[in-house]
Amino acid sequence: MILEYYFRKSKKASLTNLLTVLLSIGLLFANGADVDKAKWGEGKTLFKSNCASCHNPKADGTGPALSGVTARWDAAGTFKGKTGNQWLHTWITNWHDAVDGGYKYAVDMSNSRPAEMNVFKGVLKDEDIDKILLYVENPDFGPTGPTGPTGPTSTPTEANEGPGSTLYIFAFFLIVLVAILIGVTKKLDRIIDEKKGIVVAEAKKPFWKNAKVIVAACLIGFVFLGYYTVDAFVHLGRQQGYQPEQPIKFSHALHAGTHKIDCQYCHSTANNGKHSNIPSLNTCMNCHKNVSKGPKYGPDEIAKIYEHVGWDATTKTFSKPQQPIEWVRIHNLPDHVFFSHAQHVNAGKVKCQTCHGPVETMDQVYQYAPLSMGWCINCHRNTEVQFASNNYYSTYEKIHDDLKKGNISKVTVETIGGTECQKCHY
């Protein structure tokens, strides 16, 4: 009797306690980490759409690797009453301002590379910059933890989703758990009441049979399902970080990096064609008639070239049967998008690395940029074209006029129509 009494008294209390504890753990989890997680996630998105075409947090690209950047600028010290961190914000907003302001670190930085950074004045607010810095200083923070996928490409291969989705899953399970616990409490209540002989007049319907609750549960279910379906569709066909095995272990790091072979020696149509070709194995044979061993795989991988082109290494003739080679295609825009290499490489003078990343350091090529519409448009909004000096633009008379009259001060790709739908869509 006492026990039962105790049970009855404490059961509710302890279950309520348990619920409270669980809820607060949940909230703590959600709140404590959430502020950072949300900002980190936004920072990551901002970084991907504004900076990733030139920067990687951990690897050098067109711009320097960004992790540790806050400490580097802090160490550069206060100048004209602004701390290193404030100068860093100035730099990211408009690097010209930091250079014109005479901040030595910025001046040295701007002289360090041939490429120039975009200007983000009016695009990014100070708090956006804080979020980006939070991301680049903690690139591995996220659902997969610091390990992530293997290999030198762990940053680009990481999943497209931020920590947001794990939070959703966590919240979902928390709701389910709370619901079950409430259910159990009610049921226990009734069992005890019945034992004590209290007739429960037509026990109230359990809460999960209540129509409102069912509707609400269905709604929540739909939202979750919808979120994941839409997410899956949006990322369908996009494969940033995609890095397939190739039939021959051809290394860009060795050829374009160590041996400094020009990209266009092999990808010769990038300058004047829509597509950039993959070289035929005959191009490889220009060198590999003589180079039959490599530093890493000895004769094994180069022997595969010989096999495909029908080269007999002992007689030094193409006397054997040939077999075509099928490289696995990495970059692939949907059919409804028009993209021309010549327009970017030749007319726009955009470097391969701006879009493809530091290929000359990759043993195995991976897709560096998202190739999303936002990625194209962002660059078109931010990139100034060398307008006045490039003959390619001589027919744009109105814009030349506007420039002369001072109606406009700069010409971006957007000015010449680079964000009109039909320019990119058939």
Give residues 336-375 in contact with ligand HEC (rule: CB under 6 A). Answer: 337-339, 341, 343-345, 347-348, 350, 352, 354-356, 359-360, 365, 371-373, 375
The stretch among 66-74, 78-86, 208-216, 399-407 that binds ligand HEC (CB under 6 A) is 66-74
Tokens of 380: 């078109």
State the sign of the Cα–Cα–Cα–Cα dihedral 331, 332, 337, 341.
Answer: positive
Among 44, 48, 131, 380, binds ligand HEC (CB under 6 A): 380
- Range 236-255, binding ligand HEC (CB under 6 A): 237-238, 246, 248-252, 254-255
In angstroms, what is the minimal distance from the CB of 257 to ligand HEC?
8
The answer to whether residues 281 and 309 touch, using CB atoms and an 8 Å cutoff, is: yes
In angstroms, what is the minimal distance from the CB of 337 to ligand HEC?
4
Instruction: Give whichever of 166 and 246 is closer to ligand HEC, judged by the CB atom.
Output: 246
As a whole number of angstroms, the distance between CA 101 and CA 120 comes to 17
State the sign of the Cα–Cα–Cα–Cα dihedral 338, 343, 348, 351.
Answer: positive
Q: Cα dist. 295→179, 255, 284, 298, 299 in Å? A: 63, 12, 17, 6, 9
In angstroms, what is the minimal distance from the CB of 21 to ligand HEC?
41
Q: Does residue 309 belong to the site contacting ligand HEC (CB under 6 A)? A: no
- Range 270-299, binding ligand HEC (CB under 6 A): 270, 275-276, 278-279, 283-284, 286-288, 291, 293-297
In angstroms, what is the minimal distance from the CB of 362 to ligand HEC?
8
Q: Which amino acid is at 14?
A: S
In angstroms, what is the minimal distance from the CB of 128 to ligand HEC?
8
Q: Cα dist. 290→314, 317, 336 in Å? A: 12, 12, 44
Q: Which amino acid is at 58?
A: K
Contact partners, residue 15, CB within 8 Å, separation at least 6 = 181, 184, 185
- Range 147-186, binding ligand HEC (CB under 6 A): none
Residue number with the shortest CB distance to ligand HEC? 294
Instruction: Give whichever of 41 and 167 is closer to ligand HEC, judged by the CB atom.
Output: 41
Instruction: Give whichever of 94 and 372 is closer to ligand HEC, judged by the CB atom.
Output: 372
Contact partners, residue 142, CB within 8 Å, separation at least 6 = 40, 148, 158, 162, 163
Among 59, 69, 98, 167, binds ligand HEC (CB under 6 A): 69
**What would you measure as the largest C-alpha separation in the chain, in angstroms?**
102
53-59-63 Cα angle (round to 5): 45
The stretch among 4-12, 13-21, 61-69, 181-189 that binds ligand HEC (CB under 6 A) is 61-69
- Phi, psi angles (nearest 5°) of residue 391: -55, -25
Instruction: Give whichever of 12 and 121 is closer to ligand HEC, judged by the CB atom.
Output: 121
For residue 310, give the nearest of 299, 318, 302 by alpha carbon.
318
- Range 31-60, binding ligand HEC (CB under 6 A): 50-51, 53-55
Instruction: With CB under 6 A as the rule, give the number of residues binding ligand HEC.
Output: 106
In angstroms, what is the minimal distance from the CB of 349 to ligand HEC?
7
Instruction: Give whichever of 390 and 407 is closer to ligand HEC, judged by the CB atom.
Output: 390
Instruction: Give whichever of 183 and 237 is closer to ligand HEC, judged by the CB atom.
Output: 237
For residue 63, give the nearest of 75, 77, 78, 47 by alpha carbon.
47
Instruction: Give whichever of 44 and 341 is closer to ligand HEC, judged by the CB atom.
Output: 341
- Range 90-149, binding ligand HEC (CB under 6 A): 91-92, 109-110, 112-113, 115-118, 120, 124, 132
As a whole number of angstroms, the distance between CA 162 and CA 143 comes to 7
The C-alpha torsion from 217 through 223 and 225 to 230, rounded to 10°, is 170
